[in-house]
Structure 1
């Protein structure tokens, strides 16, 4: 019995009491290589404390950080046809969609919410780069348009957080058709004299920059974001010249008049609230008790 008491039982207890340690407790800064504790990063709005590098944020976390007290109403989005072209390359498109939905918890790349920012009512849409690179397909296009229509119905400003690798190739021409459709939505906002503010995050490229992402009344960029149509490597290979230092980054575009301002993430809320209050329809700020419509986890 001594062998059972001394060896077997302790091993069983150690297996039962073994604690699972999450693998992502530490995040590596892409610029400096510094390891940052995940909780510290979350508390700092996913901005690396020492280097100031702006990490990507998921759409739900972006909306929770953006709206007052993290409370907002989720705007319902229309359903679209799944895999209308029956596309398949190395894998079926439906399988890629299933994996992306499991990974992000989203139905597609764009999430739309309405609420208050510094007491100013507005509608905001966020592209999630983790969902197939934030690519613009029919569902994402319909989501952007649904957000614009909600802003029109409520007579509120519309804020777009763009992050995308471009059009979704698995949907072909149906994806490209979202460019003029979303542009028509921007025109409708302009005709209604409602502010349309775009926040360009890292990265914003491809067809998205050929449509709604570069049509804002005010163009804001987060620090260090890659913004452009084609990537720097493709441009260098095409023109066979070395590009300037910092080409297609937020600061370079601001210096050359392509964006209106570069705003750190911690200053986005007061900056956008001030712009919306200045440019939007005159309305009294809601009292604190009425600012939240629903809580989203």
Structure 2
């Protein structure tokens, strides 16, 4: 056996290669994860080549191809290299943009964390343990901020550590609650960037009196409010997602991101979940995902 071709998951339908045209080689066989799948006539390929039909190999499979005599005696055996198909992506890491063909490996959170060595050439699409979170992307062990292909945004990083798909209770008497206030630089934002907060809200308590919504305020260096942004108002008796979008002003120093209230003279209670804070400068916020820190620091 002189060459075994690389098998591409989802694209290859045959295990193929070349051999030295030994007169003894009459059959080609395949062993997958220790199980011999049997052999086929080597004559089904052109002289000097071999092929074995197999269209469902996975990247995690351990596969060997062998050549055998007519009687089934093994002559030679070699490993089959298996790779994932490369995808043309644009990714952003720490403000730097990269566009090219990347090998993307989808992997569960526990498997990713357990990897002793990660490849700098692989984009890991990690499925978190939170079942309602979308994939979280890393290049090697570095969190990716944004992933796009020709169809649009595949992923936008959640900047809020500790977000979850589980409902959390809140109580609100004034204009806001559950506030996160930080300098814009702590979110990796600059002047002119777009900040997005998306949050699912439950306002079904029949004793409530005010609507609730996603709410963002930005402040200058004197702690003076510059402007605000509000998402869709979730009225009493309703549940829904509210998304607020704000452009960072030239004199902005800090932003406060919260749940807003349409009144300030009554204590209402509700629930929230799937809270996401994202940089929307290079694309929309995407679906709900947990923060990469919640994977790295598990």
Q: If the TM-score is normalised by the length of the shorter chain, which range does it land in? A: under 0.3
User: Where is the strand percentage greater, Structure 1 or Structure 2?
Assistant: 2
Provide TM-score, normalisation by structure 2: 0.23
Q: Which protein is bigger by CA-based radius of gyration?
A: 2
Provide TM-score, normalisation by structure 1: 0.23
